[in-house]
Structure 1
Amino acid sequence: MSAPCPSAPPSPPPSHGPFATWRRVSLAFAGLSGATGVTMAALAAHLPGRMLAPNGREMMGRAVEMQIWHSLVLLVLAFAGRNVFRWVAPGFALGQVLFCVPVYLLALKGPAIGFIAPWGGSVLILSWLAMAMLAVRRST
């Protein structure tokens, strides 16, 4: 009886395959972002009014909408199968953080860093435009 051949060590995941690093990171960020978005929605619905700034519930509601929609975008990008989208996924993640966190803090009477939110919105707009451009670009 011959000895079994030693198995080869597992190869690392392909950088452009379905489990590419950027896709795993995008999925992880989408999951965390979705969870925090639901948490913030619950806080907005249940916190006593004294803990919120004037119009705080409405501000949090808008931030939750942006967060959940852009979490879904990252989820879709990760499963889209187009490796070129690895260039826009970080912009969606960064823009989401730069927009939502200042709005949440403002609504919750936290540090006044609301001036950062327009930068986040701008990053999100640029990410949408970049995605559109990459989607119609010819492969070379």
Structure 2
Amino acid sequence: MRELVEQFVAADKIIIANPVWNLMFPPVLKSYIDTIFVPGITIKPANNGLRGLGGLVGTAQGKKVVHIQASGTILSYGEFEKLNFGDSYLRAVLTMLGIEDFQTIYVEGMAQYKDQADEIKSKALSEATELAKKF
């Protein structure tokens, strides 16, 4: 576990890719988050609450995160937007760790719009290519 924490702290750029399972990400990703959320290393108490990586001496700052989330239905907007728990949870936890540069690429609607699957994938790849230029 310590190796994973050290790897996370040392990384300047992080890519998290996951499918949506039951309105969330798979449990192995939650386990990883629990592993890297370590008092005294990635987070510590402060007078005004908790302080993440940006407030810890000797830890990396300016981390960038790209979250790639695939789902069978549309979760980023519309009637199911309030059920986009995976992305909102990651955004909240990583913000708490002091990571503010967080972007999401959605690959969504694959089951809902099977006839548009190629277009959906192509759009996501295009977004990823553009984001990679400045990541």
Higher helix fraction: Structure 1 or Structure 2? 1
TM-score of Structure 1 vs Structure 2, range by shorter chain: under 0.3
Structure number, greater radius of gyration: 1
Higher strand fraction: Structure 1 or Structure 2? 2
Q: What TM-score do you get using the length of structure 2 for normalisation?
A: 0.27
